[in-house]
Amino acid sequence: MLTLTVLGSGSSGNAAVVSNGRTTVLVDAGLSAKQLSLRLGQVGYSLEQIDAVLLTHEHLDHCRGIAVLSRQRELQLYANALTREAMSRSLEGAKVRWNVMTNSVPFELGDLQVECFAVPHDAADPVGFVIGDGHSRLGLVSDLGHSNRLIETRLSQCHGLFVEANYDRALLEADEVRPWATKQRISSPHGHLSNEQAAGLIASLAHSHLRQVVLGHLSDDCNRPELAVDFVRRALADTVARHARVQCAARHEPTPSISLAPLQVSIGS
């Protein structure tokens, strides 16, 4: 059975553990190496149990801990070619073994099946993931400015979803700290998802086997967990997935693990 454990999610750092008990991967490593090791221990994992690190993109809040972690052990890093190229200079001399992924081409990683796919964000070639174990499917999309048909197709029939809900539109507009240009970047088609956009995406993916939704990358001051959850619950209310559990990932501590019950749909179907 697949489990998802978010170690932390927000602009200060993003990392999550996905495991089926035999193969364990880290999706992004944007916390400091110290925090990654600490939080892994808090949820019953160790660095030695991590079989690979899957990278969504090269922004620091998704890869901050890699260089220091690689001093403790060689890391198997999975990234597409442009993300690897964007990170190669910062990881020069690090003990990493690169595994180059091709967007939309599934591959085996131990007992897991993995597929990465392009998402719109202001990075070299950012991706989302679908991870399966032959029984359940977990979709993960963080840092994207809008959804599209490709994303919806790749995430269809997932039993669990991790989706960015970065900002509340009204709170962002009312924010007096961020300059106008920053607000424009955040809300642009290659920025981040609002609560409303996240809810729309999740509702479009509703099906009778969707049971777990985790919202991530919430802004500290331009969003609130209760707002994000309410948007999604209202969007799901009239769908067959209205009973799905919806929660927000924490920024400064691990979020309790969620387990995905078996679902007889394989990646690529």
pLDDT tens digit string along 254-269? Answer: 999 999 965 444 444 4
pLDDT for the residue 91: 92
Phi first, then psi, for residue 21 (nearest 5°) are 90, -20
Structure tokens at 160: 């669990």
> Domains in the chain, ordered, with CATH?
2-260 (3.60.15.10)
For residue 116, what are the β-bridge partners? 129
pLDDT tens digit string along 195-240? Answer: 999 999 999 999 999 999 999 999 999 999 999 999 999 999 999 9
Burial 85-110 (b: 16+ CB within 10 A, else e): ebbeeebeebebeeeebebeeeeebe
In the three-class reduction of DSSP (H, G, I as helix; E, B as strand; rest coil), residue 127 is classed as: strand
pLDDT tens digit string along 154-184? Answer: 999 999 999 999 999 999 999 999 999 999 9
Strand order across the beta sheet in which 112-118 lies: 107-109, 112-118, 127-132, 137-141, 160-164, 212-216, 245-248
pLDDT for the residue 265: 43
pLDDT tens digit string along 100-110? Answer: 999 999 999 99
pTM of the model: 0.95
Phi first, then psi, for residue 160 (nearest 5°) are -140, 150
The per-residue DSSP string of 65-101 comes to THHHHHHHS-EEEEEEHHHHHHHTTTTTT--EEEEEE
pLDDT for the residue 263: 45
pLDDT for the residue 262: 58
Cα(41)–Cα(164) distance, integer angstroms: 25
Give Cα 253 to chain centroid, integer Å: 16
pLDDT tens digit string along 42-91? Answer: 999 999 999 999 999 999 999 999 999 999 999 999 999 999 999 998 89
Q: Strands 160-164 and 96-101: what pairing?
A: unpaired
- The model's confidence at residue 92, banded by pLDDT at 50, 70 and 90, is confident
Distances (CA, A) of 70 to 47, 101, 133, 139: 10, 20, 27, 27
Mean pLDDT across the chain? 95
pLDDT for the residue 11: 93
Q: Give the Cβ contact number of residue 163 at 10 Å.
A: 27
Cα(20)–Cα(112) distance, integer angstroms: 8
In the three-class reduction of DSSP (H, G, I as helix; E, B as strand; rest coil), residue 95 is classed as: coil
Q: What does the pLDDT average to over 18-41?
A: 98
Structure tokens at 45: 């994992």
Question: Does the structure show a pLDDT above 50 at 146?
Answer: yes
Percentage of residues of the chain with pLDDT beyond 70: 97
pLDDT for the residue 93: 85
Asked if residue 158 lies in contact with residue 137, where contact means CB atoms within 8 angstroms, the answer is: yes
In the three-class reduction of DSSP (H, G, I as helix; E, B as strand; rest coil), residue 232 is classed as: helix
Element (H, E) at 171: helix 169-174
